[in-house]
Homo-oligomer: A and B are copies of this chain.
């Protein structure tokens, strides 16, 4: 099985870090392909970056040359998930929904700690649209810039711990890491916080393996039906690939 793990921003070290995390949990026989958009923000924070990122990710998916069996969209709270589900006939799991689902299986209510305050509203909207906000006690920012996480981890976990504790005090009994750049921190934080800490990247890889294993993929009978292949596009895809439509 080949899982395309899509870093949603254009920072190559972040792609490496995310792929490394993905490989750490992937089963034997699962190949992880780390990839990033050809254009777009170096660090996606908030609505504007998120919309650009969505298109850049869809562009990259459209032009990706090799076959794959599932996609992880590794931008927390990022838009575009529904577009990718429509574009591809393999399963698409984004880390926002994946982390929420795993958190729901091991807790009564979960809280989300993200990087910067500018992402909070976008994350809240994303949780609401995916129907996962009912069991979320809140989203707090640790004021850690995303790119500071690109070398593997933020130097200082103290604000993440502090905001996690605020969410636990408000009723959360699990914490979701609200940024792909926080990947790999779950075990250390779990030790400190004494609640399950969920890393969306690893959760999404595992859920991709579930969907492929069960033989389930996105429904083509409703709003995720493939876009009309005869639909005219002006100048799209941006990256110059010849084919438009489902690539895999």
**A interface list, Cβ under 8 A from B:** 10, 25, 27, 37-43, 45-52, 54-56, 58, 79-80, 82-83, 85-87, 91, 93, 97, 101-102, 104-109, 118, 120-122, 125, 128-132, 134-135, 168, 171-174, 187, 194-196, 198, 202-203, 206-207, 209-211, 213-225, 227-228, 231-236, 238
Contacts and interface: CB of A to CB of B under 8 A. Distances in A.
Contact of A236 (B40, B107, B131): B40
A138 B46 CA distance: 23
Contact of A194 (B106, B173, B221): B221
Given A97-B104, A101-B101, A121-B222, 14 more contacts: A27-B27, A39-B234, A40-B233, A41-B234, A43-B232, A47-B82, A48-B83, A49-B231, A54-B55, A102-B216, A129-B129, A130-B135, A134-B134, A194-B220
Copies in the complex: 6
A105 B97 contact: yes
A214 B27 CA distance: 11
9 contacts: A37-B234, A39-B238, A41-B232, A52-B233, A97-B105, A107-B222, A125-B129, A131-B132, A209-B210
Nearest to A10: B234
Contact of A41 (B125, B196, B233): B233
A171 to B, nearest CB: 8
Contacts of A121: 82, 108-109, 222-223
Contacts of A202: 214
B104 A131 contact: yes
A223 B82 CA distance: 22
Contact of A105 (B125, B171, B207): B207
A198 B108 CA distance: 24
Contacts of A238: 39, 238
A46 B223 contact: yes
Contacts of A129: 125, 128-129
